[in-house]
Amino acid sequence: MNTKKRIIYIVLSLSVAGIFVSCQNRQTEAGTEAKTEISIDFSSSNGKVKPLHGVNNGPLVLGVNADLNVYHSEAGFPYTRLHDPRWPSPDVVDIPVIFPDFDADPDDSSNYHFKKTDDYIAPIIANKSAIIYRLGTSIEHHTQYYIHPPANFDKWTKICINIIRHYNEGWADGFHYNIKYWEIWNEPDLNARMWLGTKEDYFRLYETAAKAIKKHDPTLKVGGPATTGVKSPIVEPFLAYCRDHSAPLDFFSWHSYGTIPHQIALDSRYIRSLLDEFGFTKTENHLNEWHYLTSWEEVGPPKEEVEKYKDMREKFAKTVGPVGAAYTAAVLMHLQDYPLDVANYYSADTNPYGMFDVFGAPSKTYYVFKAFNQLAKMDIRVDCTVSPANDSVICCAGVSESDKKGVFLVSNYSPDGKSYLLSFKNLPATVSTVQYEIYRIDDTKDLELIENKQIKPDNSINLNLPPYSVSMVVLKEI
């Protein structure tokens, strides 16, 4: 198939199937036909690529020699939610850390310990990542020190407002960061680990804090409840409570840990429909924790035989290895067509669910975010089609007209390798030669350059997509 010619710098990003490109006219190396075709139509715009590659937690982490600032900068995380920072021993962000003596005077700035959190937040701000500040406390898997309802909701709320004043209004030798998003608690439906009160206790705390924060500064965005999932038993009662008590809800937050990329997309649509049904048509839809996970039991601590711990390293490694990376890329692309406003992967630090190990070494999943950041920089999203449709193969494309760049994303979230022909549609006839570079993420490579060649625009590109892999292909005019 002939394609119209044009010089364009196309960043063919993320073949979650490790793209191997050869410059041939519609033939594979063995002379057999490719199984399917992928086409990019540069005349059909889909708006913009949504920057959904947000994360939880910043680069100042616990770990041996771990310095993640450069990695965070390169990945360009658009949002950073602050929850479970430096888990399992959080010493920043949480209210009991900043204001350790609840009996103290909340109006006396000397009773606040801001320094560590100041230092923690600073590199996030420097990287121009918008903070979503979770007001509350971190998870406690084995203890119950801080997860009880505050003894005095009004006093707790005053502490929250003074934290806001410190980071937005310069109070107590503070800053003017203009942090917009303030989330009230996390997973109040996770009994014994995050919340020891009733759901009604949480609803009242949310109402108290949300109304006071909006009264203090109506421009701020307040939300919650960061449920464990979309089917949590508190979702609809919470929405009903907020509606009936006129509690502000600028964003609704929820979590998802699973293995089916399309399910997250469907869940985002379900939450959007619920928000609209309850009258919250302008409330933002936030998926602010998500991660590849087959089951909680698989990575949970063994209840009987200690020998079961010997498999834990491999189980956690899988969640951020090639399979987890392929899943992550597929989710980021699936969600482009669904009503989600903000997403935050859990997490971008060195905890067991993080994309870095305790030595600061990045995982396969990190490189997915680094590559996706190239796609998110594109000005215009264009149509990308896999034919015939395949649930394990997802694609996304974007172009930047000013920079003559573009990004094509394709994911093969499958244990089977696949072959495709990549064709371009509706390109102006202005190009004679195109330079391409291929970068791959797979079980042995971390977004490394594997091929650098030139092709004629009327050549199709043969794509061999290995199981569970990710590639970025850069095309530029010469």
Q: What is the DSSP string of 393-411?
A: EEEEEEEETTTTEEEEEEE
In this predicted structure, what is the pLDDT of residue 272? Answer: 98
Topology match between the domains 9-48+380-477 and 54-376: no
Residue 327 phi/psi, 5-degree rounding, is -60, -45
The pTM of this model reads: 0.92
Q: What's the CATH class of domain 9-48+380-477?
A: mainly beta
Instruction: Tell the CATH topology of 54-376.
Output: TIM Barrel (3.20.20)
Q: For the chain, percent helix, then strand, then coil, each to nearest 5?
A: 30, 30, 45
Question: Residues 50-57: what's their mean pLDDT?
Answer: 98
Closest of 362, 336, 364, 315 to residue 470, by C-alpha: 364
Question: Residues 47-69: what's their mean pLDDT?
Answer: 93
User: What is the spatial distance between Cα 443 and Cα 239, in angstroms, rounded to a whole number?
Assistant: 44
Minimum mean pLDDT range among 187-191, 396-400, 458-462: 458-462
Taking only the tens place, the pLDDT of each residue in 345-395 is 999 999 999 999 999 999 999 999 999 999 999 899 989 899 999 899 998
Confidence of residue 16 (pLDDT cuts 50, 70, 90): very low
In this predicted structure, what is the pLDDT of residue 409? Answer: 83
Confidence of residue 9 (pLDDT cuts 50, 70, 90): very low
Question: Residues 410-421: what's their mean pLDDT?
Answer: 89
Taking only the tens place, the pLDDT of each residue in 435-446 is 778 888 999 999
Q: What is the DSSP string of 131-172?
A: EEEEES----SS--SS-SPPS-HHHHHHHHHHHHHHHHS-TT
Domain boundaries, the chain: 9-48+380-477, 54-376
Angle between helices 153-168 and 199-216 (to 10 degrees): 40
User: What is the spatial distance between Cα 21 and Cα 31, in angstroms, rounded to a whole number?
Assistant: 15
| Residue whose token pair is 């690529």 | 49
Q: Look at strands 181-184 and 221-227 and give their pairing.
A: parallel
Question: Residues 448-460: what's their mean pLDDT?
Answer: 81
In this predicted structure, what is the pLDDT of residue 2? Answer: 37
Q: What is the DSSP string of 82-103?
A: ESSTTTTS--SSSHHHHS--TT
pLDDT at 71 over 90: yes
In this predicted structure, what is the pLDDT of residue 474? Answer: 74
SS3 label, residue 477: strand
**What is the percent of the chain with per-residue pLDDT over 90, rounded to a whole number?**
67
Which is higher by pLDDT, 234 or 426? 234
